[in-house]
Structures are given as structure tokens and as C-alpha cells.
Chains A and B, each alone.
Chain A
Amino acid sequence: MTDRDAEFVEFVQARGVALRRTAFLLCGDWHRAEDLVQAALIKLFKSWHKIQKDGSVDAYARQVLVRTTIDESRRFWRRRERASAELPEVAVPAVSTEEALDLRRALAQLPARQRAVVVLRFWEDQSVEEVANLLGCAQGTVKSQASKGLAALRKVLADQRDYAVLEVQR
């Protein structure tokens, strides 16, 4: 195994889990998140030397992952995600709590780009400028998309809680 391979394996071991969490928040499915992470890592390996010279492997990996997820969500034959009142049973792990399911459902209702802004801004702790550079848009767009995404999440969660309260009262 060459030095390049050893460094790549080390990076995957160190950052694979975190990248998969980000991918899950972006797509809402653990299996699909693994596929996305592997696709992103393969793209990363192709330009490993160049990225290492720049010294921003983590940022590049995040960028590739987000763009791969957005690109895949645009393909019509891969649009398996549907915004619906009921989650499909196959996508619901038995150990998930009701709140986590509500949050995933709320996240799933956001557009792919808006969800990417929310995840990068609030989960990956990226600044507005970093998110704008990563997604190739203006900083004002990032701010507005983050605000709208968060508001949409709150609204969905509030509606679901109201619905749950009504169900309990009945």
C-alpha cells in the first residue's frame, strides 16, 4: 500500500462516520447516505494529490458530498423521496423515536438545496461565507435559505405537535 493509499484509508476511517451523518441529514436514508459517501470518497481519491497540496481535504470532501447529493436528487429515476404524511415502513428503523421521525419528515419536505444550507450551516458549523463558496451562491442567498429552512422546520414540527395534541385529546 502506498503512502497515498494509507493516507486515504486513514482519512476514511477518521471522517467516514461524520460524512455519513451529514449525508443522512441531506438525504434522509442511511443506506443511501452510505452510497453517497462512498461515491464522494471515490471522487475524492481521484484528486487526492491535488487536494492534499491545498491542505483542505475535509472541506473538499464535504463539498463533493453535498454536490453529489444534490446532483443525485435531481435525477428523475432516483427520486425515491416523496413528501407524504406517512413515512414508508421500510425507511423507519424500529429504534427511532417519534420525534426523530418527525424531524426527518420535516427535513424531507425541504428542497435539496435548502436542506443542504441548513445542514451545512447548523450541523457542520460552517460560516455563511463557507456555505456560499461551497454551494456557489451569494451569501445573502445562504442567509435567506437558512432562515427559510429553519422556519419551515419549526412550522412542520409545530403542526405535527398540534396534530399530536389533538390526537391525544380525542
Chain B
Amino acid sequence: MSHEELTDMNEYAEAHQLLGRALGEEPTLNFHPTTVLAAAKRSVARGRAWAAGGIAAGVVVIGIGGAALASPFGGADAPPAGGVPTTSAPPSSTITVSPTGTVRPTTVRPTTTVSPDPTTGRPVPTTTRVEPTTPNPTTRPETTATTRPEPPHTTSPGTPPPTTR
């Protein structure tokens, strides 16, 4: 046996003896095994009751949540989240009447490139014009040339400016 092991044994024995002396006079045991058993059974029963209550509460919460999602309480009449109505009027373009009597829809038209006619020098639209959806017959324009875009500046200086038809 090495010196180190002997030291360990002495240390171990010394510590064990110290702890044994620390106990001192031991009082009598105050609890009975059957009492502990009864307390343990009560604790188990209490735990089971809590678990059953928790499960029942969970079932109730799930049921209420499912019922609310199924909306049996007039949920269809309720406005949707965010306050945005589901049924909205279709978009309509407003008609503005210019002082000259022409009607111009306010809808944005696509940009068209107009190249001048080589014979007349007049610009020829290459795209169809957007017609107003609900034109007022009384304010129907006599000519639509006023709504034509201006010709580009590539026209020759000698040609006359485009006139209305």
C-alpha cells in the first residue's frame, strides 16, 4: 500500500468519523411508514386530479376554439379582419369634360408612339385609343383629333401642322 493510498484511507476514515460524531444524539423517528404511504397516495391522487383537470381544460379550449373557427354564431356577418369589405364596387373611370367639350377619361392610357405619315406629314397613331367606358352622349366629342397626342418634333419644317379632321 502506497503512502498516497494510506493517506487517502486515513483521510476517508477521519472524515467518516467526523461526520459520525456530528450526528450526536439521535432523536426518535417521528414519522411512521404507513403515514408516509398515505401521504404519498394522496400526492399521487392530487397529481392525477390536476392532470385530469388540465386535460379537460385543454379539451374545452380546443372545442371552443374549433366552434369559433366554424363560426356558428353569425360569424359570416362579421366584417373580416382589417375592416376591408369583401364585396366592393367595380372600379369605374370618371369622365371629365374639358372646356372644349371633349371627353377625356382619367384613366391612364398607354403611351403611344406616333410616326408621321410620309405623304401628308400627319402623325398616324399606331395603337388603338382607349375609349371611355361610359361616354356621355351629350358631351361626345365631334372629333377625336383633339385627344390625339402631339406629333413628335421630327416632322419637317415645311409641312403644315396637323389639323383636326
Show the binding face of A for B, using Cβ within 8 Å.
Answer: 5, 8-10, 12-13, 16-17, 20-21, 24-25, 30, 34, 37-38, 41-42, 44-46, 93, 95-97, 99-101, 103-104, 107, 118-119, 121-123, 125, 150, 153, 157
B5 interface hit (Cβ, 8 Å): no
Q: Do B24 and A42 have beta carbons less than 8 Å apart?
A: no
Main secondary structure of the interface of A (DSSP, over half): helix
In the complex, residue of chain A having the shortest beta-carbon distance to the beta carbon of B39: A42
Which of these, B18, B20, B23, B40, contacts A41 with CB under 8 Å?
B40
Q: Do B33 and A93 have beta carbons less than 8 Å apart?
A: no
19 A-B residue pairs with CB within 8 Å: A9-B34, A9-B37, A12-B37, A30-B27, A42-B39, A42-B43, A45-B36, A45-B41, A46-B40, A46-B47, A100-B21, A100-B23, A100-B24, A101-B24, A103-B22, A104-B24, A122-B12, A122-B15, A150-B11
* Known contacts A103-B21, A153-B18: A12-B26 contact under CB 8 Å: no
- State the Cβ distance, B49 to closest chain A Cβ, in Å: 14
Residues of B7-47 contacting chain A, CB below 8 A: 11-12, 15-16, 18-27, 29-31, 33-34, 36-37, 39-41, 43-44, 47
The CA of A21 and the CA of B29, in the complex, are separated in Å by: 11
Show the binding face of B for A, using Cβ within 8 Å.
Answer: 11-12, 15-16, 18-27, 29-31, 33-34, 36-37, 39-41, 43-44, 47
Q: Do B19 and A123 have beta carbons less than 8 Å apart?
A: yes
Which of these, A42, A46, A99, A153, contacts B36 with CB under 8 Å?
A42
The CA of A5 and the CA of B69, in the complex, are separated in Å by: 49
Which of these, A42, A101, A123, A153, contacts B16 with CB under 8 Å?
A123
* Known contacts A16-B29, A34-B31, A122-B16: A99-B21 contact under CB 8 Å: yes
